[in-house]
Structures are given as structure tokens and as C-alpha cells.
């Protein structure tokens, strides 16, 4: 680290909590008591599954969102309004399609009050720093995703911010380009002189944060909270294949999966008549996972699955969780293994698979409750509203709309019930098994 | 600074003079335009003459057509200014927006005759000696046919800016003016141009009424294409009517070629991403010609530079934008004042309306509601008949690339043509066929509003994804099954949009369709439109106010109860963009 690392705290979150209003009036807690600091001369990463509020934390620190409780401090002072020391690189680039590359950079220099006489020179300098020379007069639509994000980076560092915020900066860039951009961002940061002094990045990619960050803040979801902070003292440039790199990656996997995967219990503090929150994955994805495992002798490393299937790690965890709820797989540590039921399922014909699926679903309180309700109802049909009410009553923190959609998908796959979208009723299947 | 290379020095001297003939033509055109406008200025400042004597000779027509064009463009200028101010205010100020947006919905449903008496009487009182008042009244009446959908479109573009773009503008500390110039106006530009095209057509629709109208036994007439047509109709002069129709077509084609087409091509630089929903306009010869002009090129890039590089305010002020006590109360104070003014005007209007309407008896109200019901049935019939022919026709046109290229410009012109100019011919036909106006008016209303349905259906049929088409062909669905299985569901959301617009157009058209001036005696049938135009002519403001209120209420109610829900359903069920 060539950066001046004197440990001054540039920006800090102190006891931040946040809520979003829900359409029906009550509030959804998205962040719970977040405390973190960004010191000068370091790269900090926020790592966590989708829905843990990483991007919300970034926007609160940037002063774009006012937290419901707690405060942001910059250089020890309470932040009111915009954080003028920060610039953001956006996930979706947020470039102006009607401006050329240099105009995109130029306008932010104008708006932030950069000395007018030096603007042209600064534009050229930043264009050179991010390797866009020759593209000054190109429009964003002529550029690939990677090149677009170079413009996004150039625009942010052009104004010489003390803090560079990056919100999943490489998730819309192809994998190879992302790899080179990561290295380049670090080079730029180290060569850039005084500013940007520090980088705060949001990511769900473990490899990315181990490569880039000095400190990794691991977040948990529902509501978002800081689970643990991992220091990463490896010297740069870091080697993806080194033993140290791999060890740290595995450690982070264990932290995330040990907690996210229902190894211990789904939710320990549930009331006795609890109802399981369905993970947001489709029956097709679960069947896909089973096929994958079957083709590899029934066991695989969860990280390997994510790499092989080119899927987001968080989504793989979700699918594994879904399969485990149905008792189709087991998850000893980082491994995912087929259970005897799972083996039976995968060997069965498509029709029999549905039967196994239905049987496993009925082990869950949620589906049993719904089936009982349908059976008891004189018309053998219940309304969408009723089911949503059950969900909201038992799981006030879950977002009931996607959960309901997912419930319908699972139920339809297992031929447990059928759903009429027009009348919004759930009834017995048309062709009962 | 690329544009400097095109400046007067240097390049100009190096080329032979003949290379500049396009510039010369351009300068001549501009000079000619100014000369024409000077004539218009004379007409405006002339002594007030309520009923101008229209010369029906075709040689007088070009001048009249130019006058009408100038009025249409002036009204458009006002509409644009109104759109930017009203749309911006409604989008940025939550409290004001909660009043301004529903108000816009109501304004949109008030037919032009609803604004006429107030506007005309006020402006004539304001300029008792010259034609200024009457001219302004005419321009404002055209404006009321143009402005509302542009304003709605602009408001929606401002509100639908992506959250990341909003955040970026905040993080990089754009002030409101920079944000408007660099982000909001460019992203609204495409919609604004397409809406402007539609608005201009809407403005022509009531040209005949706007230029020649009766108000309480008094006859007002301004020299122009619309009044030429009305006089020709009154006198039964078919040659003059034909000339007027041709002149109108000439105006529409000229505007299309010289203004709208170049604009739609030019505005593509502001599209958000590749493959937007609007139909692609390939090229415009006029734009190509304009861009070949050295003079104009210099002017445009200078303008572009100014847009991008307006001198920055001194840094001290930038550092403390309105930080003083003045800044803290000035902007909210001004907003509050404007808001209070709007509320006061609305309150005053409501009191006046109540007073006007309060004098009506039970029987009068019964007539108004009965008429509204009759017109409601006609509007329904218009939609039914319009759908019956435009749905298959639109799908057939949209499906074939060749038909699309050839017919779409034709449909566009047809849709812009103000249908009331064709009403006399239609009425002659009705008389010959012994068809009563009660039924005939349905056809008249259809003539004006069917295009909205056709337009939308064509657009949606052309946008059906290729893989869906290939699938239908490869599964060998018969022609009929292709229609019912693929095209009808695929165009359904667009069909609903078409219905909403067509229904609005049909309600409006009822004013000129249910009571038609034809020769000596006007024909009329029962309906809210006839009631509105008759009461305006008689100067019976009580009935006028009541029937306009009822019509606006019915239209707004139908929008809320029927159309919004249907559009929601269409979007949810049949939308292809998922």
C-alpha cells in the first residue's frame, strides 16, 4: 500500500438504522444499528447477499438518503445534506447518453465548481488515467459495458473526491473485463496523488473483495446488520491463486454460508406455530441443482457450484436453502449433498418427481396450513388475500408479494393446488394426483 | 472547439462561391418568412373589425393559409412554454403537483368552446380598438387544443428519471438549471417532439371554430384558412372548399417535411438507449440539407457550446447557494405564493361556475344529462366501429414492412388533417342518403378519432418480436389463428391506449359533429356537443357552463373508472416487454 495510511477517520456510520415504508402503511426495517468507519488510505468493502441493504448504506454515507436513526460523521462532524467529499461510481453507469465521453466528465467538473481554466486539462488527464484516450468524442452507446464503466470511474475521480464510492461497479461488466478493471482501479487509486484517499465498494463477489479490499465488512440480511469485519493485510498486487488468497476466500465463504445456510436451524427464535419463509428460487432452479449434484456423484462444494454455473453466489445459497427445506439436500459445512429423498427424487420420472415434491412440501407448516384451508373451505378454494394475510401475520419482515408468487410456483410444480390469476383464488388442482 | 473551424474566416475564402448556394437559399427563405410575418403584424394591429370579409378566390388563399400557420405556430410556442413551466412545477413541487396534475386532467377534458366565451370577452375588453384581442383569443383557443397532452408527457418524463440518474445529479451537485439542461430536458426531448406532433394536429382540429365563431348573436371572423372554409361552407361554394382542403393538406405536409420529420430525426441523439419504443424515422432530406449549411452548422454548434458551457457563476456563490436568510425563505415563499394564487383562481372559478349553474332548473339539468347520455352512446359506437376496421387494417399494415414504409406517412398525414373540414361533404352525402344527423354524427366523430386507434395498432403490430412471428409461422397457424393467437393479444395494450385517445377525441368532436353548419340552415341533433355549441352561439352561458361541466365530469370519470383499469389489465396481462 503506497497510500498515506495515517488512520484518520474520514467518514463513519454511527448507529445507523433505516426503514422503508411499505405500500400498506407499515414499515420495513432494512438496516439495524450499522457502525463502521472508513479511514484514510484504505479500501473498504461491504460484502453481503442481496437484500442486506449494502447500497442503502453507501447512499446514506453519501448523504443521498437520510437515515431513520443514527448519524453519518465526516471528519468527526455530523453530516447534514450531501457528503461533498464523496463521488459515486454507479452499477448501471448513469452516464448521459447525449454527451460524449469528454462532455460527460466535463459537466461534473463544471457543476462541482472546478476552476474553469483547468477543466479541459483535467478532462484530458482523467481520460488518460482510465485508458479512454481516443474515445473522447465517442457517445456512451458506442461503448461496451467495460468502457462505459471506465467513463463512470473517470467522471468520479475527475472531481478529486476524498472518498470514491463504488456501488457494485463491475456487476454489469463481462467477467474478463471486470478482472482487469479491478487491477486498474487499484493502480489509479495508488497513483492518483492525494485524492481519492479511500475507496468504499459494495459487492456480492467474494473474489472481488478479497482482491481489492483492506477491510471487508460482512453484512447479514433481514434487516441488514454488520456481522463481522475481516482484515485483509495481503500485499498488493494480490495473486488469485495464492494459498493465502484462497484461504481468505474460504473463510469468508464459511462466515456467509455458515450463517446463511440453515445448518443450525432456519430461525431459532420462531414462535411454536411458525411458518417457513420460502427462499426466492423456483422449482426449476432446485431441480437444476439436483441434476447438477447427481451428475457429480451427489456432492459438491457450494463455491464450485457458483463458479461452474456462472451464478451469483447469493442465488446459489438461496437455491441450496430451498432444496434443504424440502429435505432434498444436506449441507455439511461448505458442501452440498443429496439426501436419500433427493436421490429418489432425481431418479424418478417427471410425474413421480411431482409426487415426491408434494410430499416434501407437505412437511412444511406453510403448505400444510394452506392445504388444510383449501380442504376445509366449502368451495375448496381460498383467496390470494387470505394467504397473503397469513404470510404477513407470521413473517412481518418478509416482503409478501415475491414470497406469495414463489409459493404459487412451488405449489403449481408439485400439483398441490392451482391458482387462477384473474379471480386471484387458490383451489385444488384440476387433475388431482 | 470544432465549430470555430466553420467560422467566417478561413474556410469561407477557400471555397468557390457556388458552394454556398444552399446558404443563399436559406437566407432568402428566412427573409421571405419575415416579410410574410410583417404582413401578419399589419393585420393584428389593424382596427378591430369583428367579422373580416373573406375573399373566396383561390388567390387569396396562400395569404390566409400563412396567417393560420402563423397562429398555429404562435399557439405552439405558448404550448411549449406552458408545458415546460407547468410540467416542471407539477413534477418538482409535491404539494402543487397534487393539485396541478388532476387539474390538467380536467383541463384536458374541457372542449375548446368551454374556454371560448371567457377568453374572447376578456381579451376584446382588454384591446377594444385593435385586432390584438381577437387574434390572441384565437391563438389561445388553438392553444387549448394543443397544450395538455404535451404537458402530461413532459411531467411523466420528469417523474420517470431513473433513480441512479437522480443520484448522480445529486452527488455531482448539479444545480436545478444544470440538471434541467443536462439531464431532464434531454431525456424528455424524444417524448416532447412526438407529443408536439400530435398536439399540432389537435390544434388544427378546431381551426374553423377558432377563426370564425358566433358568440351571443355576434359574428367574429379573422382572416385565415379556417374562416375561409367556414364562409365557403356557408355559401355552399364547393370549389372554394376543395381549395381550402388542399391548402390544409399543403400546410400539414410542409410542417411534416420541414419541421417534424427533421426534429424526429434530430432528436434521436437524445434517445436513452438503443431500440426505443418510438417508430424509427430513417432520414429527413430537409435536415440533411440544413446540416449541409455552413452558416447553420456554426450557429448550431455555437448553441450547443452555450448549452453545455454557460459561464459558471462565480465560485463564492456556488459554494453558498442561497445560503443566506433570503435564500431560505425566498424560494419556498415564491412557491407558496404561486400555489395560493392557483388555489385562489380555482376557488374563484368554482364560485363563478356555481353562480352560473345555480340558476338552472330541474328540467334544464335533465336535458343536459340526457344529452350527455346520448353522446356517450355515440362515443361508444365510434370506438366499436373504429375498432372493427382499424384492428385488422392496422395489423395488416404493421405486419408487412413494405406496407408500413409506404402507408405510415400517409396515415400520419391523414391523422393530422382536421376532420371537420370534411364534414360538409359528409353531410351532403347524409342528405342524399336520407341519413339523419343523429346517426350521421357517429360517422363524423369517427372520421376524426379512428386514426388514434389505427396509429397505435400499427405501431404495436410492427413491434411484435420476430421470434414470436417465426414461432407462429413454424407451427403453421392459419391466418385467422395468427390473428387471434398472436396479433390481437399483442396489440391489445396499444389498442387500449388508442381507445382512450380516440374516446377523448370523439367527445371533443361531438361539438362540431352534432351540430353542423351546412349552407343556410345548420343541422343539429340531440347531444351534449350540440347543446354546447348551440348555447355558446345563443350566448346562454348558464346552459353552456352546465353542459361543459357535465361533459368534463363524465370524461374524467370514465378515465378513472374504465380506462385506467383497462390499461392496467392490458399492461399486466398482454405486455410483451417483460
Best of B161, B167, B168, B193 to disrupt the A interface (most A CBs within 10 Å) is B168
- Provide the shortest C-alpha distance from residue B307 to chain A (in Å): 11
Residue B179 Cα, gap to closest chain A Cα (Å): 9
Q: For residue A103, give the nearest of B270, B272, B308 by CB distance.
A: B308
More confident residue, B463 or B510: B510
Question: Region A379-392: what's the mean pLDDT?
Answer: 80
Per-residue model confidence (pLDDT) at position B155: 92
Please compute the mean of the pLDDT values over residues B76-98 and round it to a whole number.
91
- Of the given ranges (A233-242, B10-19, B101-110), which has the lowest mean pLDDT? B10-19
- pTM listed for this prediction: 0.75
Q: How many beta-carbon pairs under 8 angstroms link A with B?
A: 69
pLDDT of residue A268: 36
Q: Among candidates B445, B432, B417, B430, which has minimal Cα distance to B523?
A: B430
Classify the phi-psi angles of B539: left when phi > 0, otherwise alpha if psi is within -120 to 50, otherwise beta.
left
pLDDT at res. B517: 78
Residues of A with CB under 8 A from a CB of B: 59, 62, 64, 82, 84, 86-88, 90-94, 96-99, 103, 106-108, 110-113, 116, 141, 155, 159
Phi/psi for A424 (5° steps) reads 55, 45
Whether residue B336 is predicted with pLDDT greater than 90 in this model: the reply is no
Average pLDDT over residues A5-28: 82
The minimum CA-CA distance between B462 and chain A, rounded to whole Å, is 24
Q: Give the model's pLDDT for residue B78.
A: 95
Per-chain mean pLDDT for chain B: 81
Per the document, the length of chain A is 433
B320–chain A nearest CA distance, Å: 11
Predicted local confidence at residue B444, as pLDDT: 92
Would you call B212 exposed, middle or buried from its count of C-beta atoms within 10 A (0-12, 13-18, 19+)? buried
At residue B304, the pLDDT reads 67
| Chain B residue at shortest CA distance from A163 | B171
Q: How far apart are CA B350 and CA B356, in angstroms?
A: 10
Does residue B387 register a pLDDT over 90?
A: yes
- Are A111 and B174 a contacting pair at CB < 8 A? yes
pLDDT at B570 over 50: yes
CB contact under 8 A, A92 and B272: no
Q: Using the beta-carbon criterion (under 8 Å), do A86 and B318 form an inter-chain contact? A: no
Q: Is the pLDDT of residue B288 over 50?
A: yes
Note the pLDDT tens digit of each residue in B104-142: 888 888 888 778 887 888 888 888 777 888 888 899 999
Q: In chain A, what residues touch B178 (CB-CB under 8 Å)? A: 107, 110-111
Query: Does A108 contact B269 at a Cβ distance shorter than 8 Å?
Result: no
Average pLDDT rounded to a whole number, residues A92-114: 89
Distances (CA, A) of B261 to A97, B196, B198, B287: 22, 12, 13, 8
Q: Is the pLDDT of residue B311 over 50?
A: no
pLDDT of B537 reads 83
Q: Sign of torsion, CA B166 B168 B171 B176?
A: negative
User: A124 near A144, Cβ under 8 Å?
Assistant: no
State the pLDDT at residue B327: 56
Q: What are phi and psi of A202, to 5 degrees?
A: -110, 135
Q: Is residue B451 scored above 50 in pLDDT? A: yes
pLDDT band at B75 (very low <50, low <70, confident <90, very high): very high
Helix (H, G, I), strand (E, B) or coil at B93: coil
What band does B276 get if pLDDT is binned at 50, 70 and 90?
very low
**pLDDT confidence band for B12 (50 / 70 / 90):** very low
Judge: B175–A62 Cβ closer than 8 Å, yes or no: no
Q: What is the pLDDT of residue B476?
A: 73
**Inter-residue contact A211 to A242 (CB < 8 Å):** no
Contacts of A172 in chain B (CB under 8 A): none
**B207, pLDDT greater than 60:** yes
Cross-chain residue pair A111–B172, CB shorter than 8 Å: yes
Confidence of residue A386 (pLDDT cuts 50, 70, 90): confident
pLDDT at A1 over 70: no
In the predicted model, is pLDDT for residue B384 greater than 50?
A: yes
CB-CB neighbors (< 8 A) of B183 in chain A: 96
| Interchain contact, A88 vs B186, CB within 8 Å | no
The sign of the dihedral angle between the CA atoms of B263, B266, B268, B272 is: negative
Mutation choice for B interface testing from A62, A66, A97, A122 by most B CBs within 10 A: A97
Burial A284-313 (b: 16+ CB within 10 A, else e): ebbbebbebbeeeebebbbbebbeeeebeb
Domains of chain B are 24-269+354-573 (1.10.3720.10)
Three-state DSSP class for residue B70: helix
pLDDT at A104 over 80: yes
Query: What's the sign of the alpha-carbon dihedral B154, B157, B160, B166?
Result: negative
Q: Which value, in Å, is the radius of gyration of the alpha carbons in chain B?
A: 26
Which of A394-403, B212-221, B323-332, B432-441 has the highest mean predicted lDDT (pLDDT)? B432-441
Q: Does position B553 have pLDDT exceeding 70, yes or no?
A: yes
Amino acid at each position: 500500500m503506497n497510500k498515506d495510511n495515517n488512520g484518520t477517520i474520514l467518514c463513519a456510520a454511527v448507529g445507523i438504522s433505516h426503514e422503508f415504508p411499505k405500500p400498506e402503511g407499515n414499515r420495513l426495517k432494512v438496516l439495524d444499528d450499522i457502525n463502521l468507519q472508513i479511514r484514510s488510505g484504505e479500501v473498504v468493502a461491504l460484502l453481503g447477499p442481496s437484500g442486506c441493504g449494502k447500497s442503502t448504506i453507501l447512499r446514506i454515507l453519501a448523504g443521498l438518503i437520510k437515515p431513520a436513526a443514527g448519524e453519518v460523521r465526516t471528519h468527526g462532524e455530523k453530516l447534514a445534506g450531501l457528503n461533498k467529499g464523496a463521488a459515486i461510481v454507479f452499477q448501471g453507469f448513469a452516464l448521459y447518453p447525449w454527451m460524449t465521453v469528454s462532455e460527460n466528465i466535463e459537466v461534473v467538473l463544471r457543476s462541482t465548481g472546478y476552476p474553469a481554466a483547468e477543466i479541459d486539462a483535467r478532462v484530458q488527464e482523467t481520460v488518460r488515467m482510465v485508458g479512454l484516450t481516443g474515445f473522447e468524442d465517442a457517445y456512451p452507446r458506442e461503448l461496451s459495458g467495460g468502457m462505459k464503466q471506465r467513463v463512470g470511474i473517470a467522471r468520479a475521480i475527475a472531481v478529486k473526491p476524498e472518498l470514491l464510492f463504488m456501488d457494485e461497479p463491475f456487476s454489469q461488466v463481462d467477467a474478463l473485463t471486470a478482472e482487469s478493471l479491478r487491477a486498474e482501479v487499484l493502480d489509479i487509486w495508488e497513483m492518483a496523488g492525494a485524492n481519492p484517499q479511500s475507496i468504499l465498494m459494495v459487492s456480492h463477489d467474494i473474489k472481488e473483495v478479497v482482491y481489492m479490499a483492506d477491510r471487508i465488512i460482512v453484512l447479514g440480511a433481514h434487516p441488514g446488520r454488520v456481522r463481522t469485519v475481516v482484515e485483509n493485510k495481503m500485499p498488493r498486487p494480490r495473486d488469485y491463486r495464492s494459498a493465502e488468497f484462497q484461504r481468505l476466500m474460504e473463510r469468508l465463504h464459511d462466515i456467509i454460508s455458515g450463517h446463511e445456510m440453515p445448518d443450525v436451524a432456519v430461525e431459532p427464535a420462531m414462535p411454536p406455530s411458525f411458518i417457513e419463509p420460502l427462499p426466492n428460487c423456483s422449482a426449476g432452479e432446485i431441480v437444476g441443482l439436483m441434476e447438477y449434484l447427481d451428475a457429480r456423484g451427489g456432492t459438491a462444494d457450494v463455491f464450485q457450484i457458483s463458479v461452474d454455473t456462472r451464478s451469483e453466489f447469493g442465488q446459489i445459497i438461496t437455491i441450496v436453502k430451498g432444496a434443504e427445506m424440502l429435505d432434498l439436500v444436506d449441507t455439511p459445512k461448505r458442501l452440498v449433498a443429496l439426501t436419500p429423498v433427493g436421490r429418489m427424487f432425481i431418479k424418478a420420472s417427471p410425474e413421480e418427481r411431482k409426487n415426491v415434491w408434494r410430499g416434501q412440501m407437505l412437511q412444511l407448516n406453510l403448505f400444510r396450513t394452506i392445504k388444510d384451508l383449501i380442504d376445509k373451505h366449502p368451495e375448496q378454494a381460498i383467496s390470494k388475500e387470505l394467504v397473503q394475510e397469513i404470510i404477513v401475520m407470521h413473517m412481518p419482515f418478509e416482503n409478501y408479494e415475491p414470497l406469495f408468487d414463489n409459493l404459487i410456483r412451488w405449489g403449481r410444480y408439485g400439483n398441490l393446488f392451482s391458482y387462477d390469476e384473474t379471480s386471484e383464488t387458490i383451489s385444488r388442482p384440476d387433475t388431482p394426483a | 472547439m470544432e465549430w470555430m473551424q466553420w467560422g467566417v474566416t478561413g474556410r469561407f475564402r477557400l471555397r468557390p462561391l457556388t458552394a454556398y448556394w444552399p446558404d443563399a437559399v436559406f437566407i432568402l427563405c428566412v427573409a421571405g418568412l419575415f416579410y410574410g410575418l410583417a404582413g401578419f403584424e399589419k393585420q393584428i394591429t389593424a382596427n378591430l373589425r369583428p367579422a373580416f370579409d373573406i375573399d373566396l378566390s383561390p388567390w387569396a388563399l396562400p395569404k390566409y393559409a400563412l396567417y393560420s400557420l402563423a397562429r398555429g405556430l404562435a399557439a405552439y410556442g405558448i404550448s411549449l412554454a406552458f408545458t415546460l413551466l407547468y410540467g416542471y412545477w407539477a413534477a418538482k413541487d409535491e404539494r402543487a403537483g397534487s393539485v396541478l396534475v388532476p387539474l390538467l386532467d380536467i383541463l384536458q377534458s374541457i372542449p375548446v368552446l368551454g374556454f371560448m366565451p371567457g377568453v374572447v370577452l376578456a381579451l376584446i375588453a382588454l384591446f377594444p380598438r385593435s385586432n390584438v384581442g381577437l387574434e390572441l383569443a384565437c391563438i389561445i383557443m388553438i392553444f387549448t387544443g394543443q397544450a395538455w397532452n404535451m404537458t402530461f408527457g413532459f411531467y411523466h418524463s420528469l417523474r420517470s428519471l431513473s433513480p441512479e440518474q437522480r443520484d448522480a445529479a445529486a452527488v455531482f451537485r448539479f444545480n436545478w438549471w444544470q440538471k434541467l439542461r443536462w439531464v431532464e430536458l434531454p431525456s424528455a426531448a424524444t417524448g416532447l417532439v412526438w407529443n408536439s406532433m400530435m398536439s399540432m394536429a389537435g390544434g388544427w382540429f378546431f381551426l374553423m371554430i377558432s377563426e370564425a365563431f358566433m358568440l351571443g348573436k355576434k359574428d367574429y371572423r379573422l382572416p385565415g384558412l379556417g374562416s375561409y372554409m367556414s364562409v365557403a361552407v356557408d355559401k355552399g361554394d364547393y370549389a372554394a372548399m376543395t381549395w381550402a382542403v388542399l391548402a390544409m393538406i399543403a400546410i400539414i405536409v410542409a410542417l411534416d417535411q420541414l419541421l417534424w420529420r427533421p426534429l424526429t430525426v434530430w432528436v434521436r441523439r437524445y434517445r436513452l438507449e438503443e431500440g426505443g419504443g418510438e417508430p424509427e424515422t430513417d432520414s429527413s432530406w430537409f435536415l440533411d440539407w440544413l446540416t449541409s449549411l455552413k452558416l447553420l452548422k456554426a450557429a448550431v454548434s455555437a448553441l450547443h457550446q452555450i448549452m453545455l458551457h454557460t459561464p459558471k457563476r462565480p465560485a463564492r456563490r456556488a459554494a453558498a447557494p442561497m445560503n443566506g436568510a433570503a435564500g431560505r425563505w425566498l424560494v419556498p415563499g415564491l412557491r407558496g405564493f404561486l400555489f395560493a394564487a392557483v388555489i385562489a383562481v380555482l376557488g374563484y372559478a368554482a364560485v363563478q361556475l356555481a353562480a352560473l349553474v345555480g340558476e338552472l332548473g330541474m328540467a334544464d339539468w335533465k336535458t343536459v344529462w340526457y344529452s350527455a347520455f346520448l353522446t356517450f352512446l355515440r362515443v361508444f359506437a365510434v370506438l366499436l366501429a373504429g375498432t372493427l376496421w382499424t384492428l385488422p387494417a392496422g395489423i395488416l399494415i404493421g405486419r408487412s414492412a413494405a406496407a408500413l414504409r409506404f402507408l405510415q406517412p400517409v396515415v400520419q398525414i391523414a391523422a393530422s388533417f382536421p376532420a371537420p373540414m370534411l364534414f360538409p361533404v359528409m353531410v351532403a352525402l347524409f342528405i342524399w342518403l336520407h341519413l339523419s344527423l343523429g346517426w350521421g354524427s357517429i360517422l363524423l366523430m369517427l372520421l376524426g378519432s379512428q386514426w388514434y386507434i389505427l396509429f397505435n395498432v400499427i405501431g404495436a403490430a410492427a413491434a411484435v418480436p420476430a421470434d414470436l412471428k417465426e414461432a407462429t409461422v413454424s407451427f403453421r397457424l392459419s391466418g385467422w389463428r395468427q390473428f387471434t393467437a398472436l396479433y390481437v393479444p399483442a396489440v391489445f395494450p396499444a389498442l387500449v391506449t388508442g381507445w382512450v385517445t380516440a374516446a377523448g377525441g370523439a367527445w371533443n368532436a361531438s361539438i362540431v359533429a352534432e351540430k353542423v353548419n351546412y349552407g343556410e340552415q345548420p343541422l343539429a341533433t340531440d347531444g351534449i356537443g350540440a347543446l354546447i355549441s348551440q348555447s355558446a352561439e345563443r350566448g346562454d352561458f348558464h346552459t353552456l357552463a352546465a353542459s361543459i361541466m357535465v361533459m368534463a365530469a363524465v370524461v374524467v370519470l370514465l378515465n378513472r373508472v374504465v380506462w385506467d383499469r383497462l390499461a392496467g389489465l392490458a399492461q399486466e396481462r398482454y405486455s410483451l416487454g417483460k
